[in-house]
């Protein structure tokens, strides 16, 4: 297991180490970065951390569904994932409900699309699993847009 010593928050998941840091830039602006180089601006003129959480779920499941459909040899031409969430009023204001809508482009068979989404939601998408473990009800719909 490798440890990073560059003032990064360290999270240990078995033998998998994940690190990142958030730096205050002044006022209500923060820069989040990972050691590999990616950056996100939180706060003023950026994305809120809770919205980033939703986008992380959308990104995670989008990657899963695309890869699964490709492995199934389905003719997927594109994918858009729309996500919305409803937070509770009391603190901590966690998500109570999240809805994901998949727009799958190409002549993908509906039963294969449904199976790919189920596999992502029930087995592979770690970000979605985090929401579910906190009690969030995650629902989804999909549509296939033939070209």
- Rounded to two decimals, the pTM is 0.84
In percent, the amount of the chain with pLDDT more than 90 equals 82
Whole-number CA gyration radius for the chain? 18
Give the CA distances from residue 57 to residues 29, 31, 87, 95, 120, in Å, rounded to whole numbers and listed in that order. 23, 20, 15, 12, 11
* Contact present, 52 and 40 (Cβ < 8 Å): yes
Q: What is the average per-residue pLDDT within 128-143?
A: 97
- 86 CA to centre of own chain: 16
Give the CATH class of 49-145: alpha beta
Q: Choose among 142, 136, 146: nearest CA to 68.
A: 142
* Each residue's pLDDT tens digit, 25-61: 999 999 999 988 899 999 988 899 999 999 999 999 9
More confident residue, 10 or 103: 103
Domain ranges of the chain: 9-43, 49-145
């Amino acid at each position: 297991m490798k440890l990073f010593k560059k003032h990064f928050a360290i999270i240990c998941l078995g033998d998998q180490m994940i690190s990142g840091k958030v730096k205050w830039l002044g006022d209500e602006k923060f820069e989040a970065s990972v050691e590999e180089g990616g950056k996100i601006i939180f706060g003023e003129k950026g994305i809120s951390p809770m919205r980033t959480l939703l986008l992380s779920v959308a990104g995670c499941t989008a990657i899963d569904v695309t890869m699964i459909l490709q492995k199934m040899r389905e003719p997927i031409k594109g994918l858009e994932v729309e996500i919305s969430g409803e937070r509770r009023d009391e603190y901590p204001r966690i998500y109570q409900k999240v809805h994901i809508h998949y727009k799958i482009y190409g002549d993908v068979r509906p039963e294969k699309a449904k199976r790919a989404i189920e596999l992502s939601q029930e087995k592979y998408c770690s970000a979605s699993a985090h929401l579910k473990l906190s009690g969030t009800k995650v629902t989804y719909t999909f549509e296939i847009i033939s070209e």
